[in-house]
């Protein structure tokens, strides 16, 4: 059985403080300038990410190939994981790094007791992981409702969960 922390010369690790700037540089490389102006970022302001769900994938030389961060949000009284950003270095795309990170996130969130995950993305891509359009769930504007996707990590986890997505501030 393969070690779940490794895939084809990739090592998975929880993001540490020493990784922060390198992960930020990867996000800057992969996403358009002004990424922090997106509605998802407004939900992250002043909120700590879910530490055990912020992951890096590195090759055997220790080079960062991809990273993902996850944040707590609320929809009504429901606790939800907001997945993203997830990024793969352009030189490593097509090697399964994104899938490796996604599968790790889903498994760790399920094992950590989370019931549901959402993200903003392209349905045709994320359907392969089980994500579906979340009808009745509204991200802050100007998010296209057809890009608001979710997956239940437990049967019925999205039943009755509708409304505006809000930051999970204490």
Mean of all residue pLDDT scores within the chain: 91
Q: How much is the pLDDT for 106?
A: 97
Q: What pLDDT digit, counting tens, does each position of 16-43 carry?
A: 999 999 999 999 999 877 776 677 778 8
Res 124 pLDDT > 50: yes
Calpha distance 103→6 (Å, rounded): 12
Q: How much is the pLDDT for 37?
A: 65
Which residue did the predictor score with more confidence, 103 or 170? 103
Q: How much is the pLDDT for 165?
A: 96
Q: How confident is the model at residue 170 (pLDDT cuts 50, 70, 90)?
A: low
What is the token pair recorded at 164? 């505006």
Q: How much is the pLDDT for 5?
A: 43
What angle (nearest 5°) sits at the alpha carbon of residue 75, between those of residues 70 and 79?
A: 50
8 A C-beta contact, residue 123 and residue 147:
yes
Q: How confident is the model at residue 113 (pLDDT cuts 50, 70, 90)?
A: very high
Which residue did the predictor score with more confidence, 33 or 135? 135
Q: What is the pLDDT averaged over residues 72-93?
A: 96
Q: What pLDDT digit, counting tens, does each position of 44-64 carry?
A: 888 999 999 999 999 999 999
Neighbours of 24 (CB within 10 A): 11
Q: How much is the pLDDT for 8?
A: 58
What are the structural domains of the chain? 6-167 (3.40.630.30)
């Amino acid at each position: 059985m393969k070690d779940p922390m490794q895939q084809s010369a990739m090592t998975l690790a929880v993001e540490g403080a020493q990784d922060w700037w390198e992960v930020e540089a990867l996000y800057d490389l992969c996403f358009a300038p002004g990424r922090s102006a997106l509605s998802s970022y407004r939900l992250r302001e002043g909120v700590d990410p879910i530490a055990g769900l912020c992951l890096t994938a590195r090759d055997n030389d220790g080079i960062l190939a991809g990273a993902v961060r996850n944040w707590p949000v609320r929809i009504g009284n429901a606790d939800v994981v907001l997945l993203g950003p997830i990024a793969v270095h352009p030189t490593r795309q097509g090697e399964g790094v994104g899938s490796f990170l996604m599968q790790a996130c889903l498994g760790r969130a399920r094992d950590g007791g989370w019931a549901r995950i959402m993200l903003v993305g392209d349905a045709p891509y994320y359907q392969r992981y089980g994500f579906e359009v979340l009808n009745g769930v509204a991200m802050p504007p100007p998010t296209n409702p057809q890009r608001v996707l979710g997956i239940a990590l437990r049967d019925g986890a999205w039943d009755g969960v509708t409304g505006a997505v809000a930051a999970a501030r204490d």
